[in-house]
């Protein structure tokens, strides 16, 4: 009985000290996205098809990261994505070309796993939206 109690205490202490190392994001849903790059922001409502939005949501929900980093984000090349579900922001992601990112629910910078392509996906959607908005002005 004492051995079991000792093992339970040791496991509890280790979890309290180290925490549960969960290097993935809280899952979200979205009906549409707004995307910003630099000083410009484009609303994706009725401009980005549902499959593209879902693909970006899936990429977000699969984010795994190496851990916190002290490396600074390159804000000139950072993309900000606001995920909107039922007219409320369900998640926010700011990520730069080097894979440094932070989420809307925190200020810490993290390094994304190298196999993620969410930056490239978001940049492509941003460029498509930019073209659509420029065509709308013409």
- Helix, strand, coil shares of the chain as percentages rounded to 5? 40, 30, 35
In this prediction the pTM is 0.80
How is residue 62 written in tokens? 């699969």
Per-residue pLDDT of 68-126, as tens digits, reads: 889 999 999 999 999 999 999 999 999 999 999 998 877 789 998 888 899 999 999 99
Per-residue pLDDT of 115-132, as tens digits, reads: 889 999 999 999 999 999
* Domain residue extents for the chain: 23-137
Domain 23-137 - what CATH class?
A: mainly beta
How is residue 33 written in tokens? 């996205």
Task: Evaluate whether 113 touches 65 at the Cβ level (below 8 Å).
Answer: yes
Task: Evaluate whether 34 touches 46 at the Cβ level (below 8 Å).
Answer: no
């Amino acid at each position: 009985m004492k051995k079991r109690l000792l093992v339970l205490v040791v496991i509890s202490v280790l979890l309290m000290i180290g925490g549960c190392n969960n290097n993935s994001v809280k899952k979200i849903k979205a009906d549409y996205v707004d995307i910003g790059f630099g000083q410009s922001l484009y609303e994706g409502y009725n401009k980005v098809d549902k499959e593209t939005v879902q693909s970006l949501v899936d990429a977000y929900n699969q984010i795994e990261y190496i851990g916190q980093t002290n490396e600074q984000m390159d804000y000139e090349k950072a993309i900000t994505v606001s995920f909107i579900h039922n007219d409320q922001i369900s998640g926010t992601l700011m990520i730069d070309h080097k894979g440094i990112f932070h989420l809307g629910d925190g200020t810490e910078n993290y390094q994304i796993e190298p196999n993620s392509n969410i930056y490239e996906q978001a940049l492509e959607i941003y460029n498509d939206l930019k073209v659509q908005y420029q065509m709308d002005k013409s």
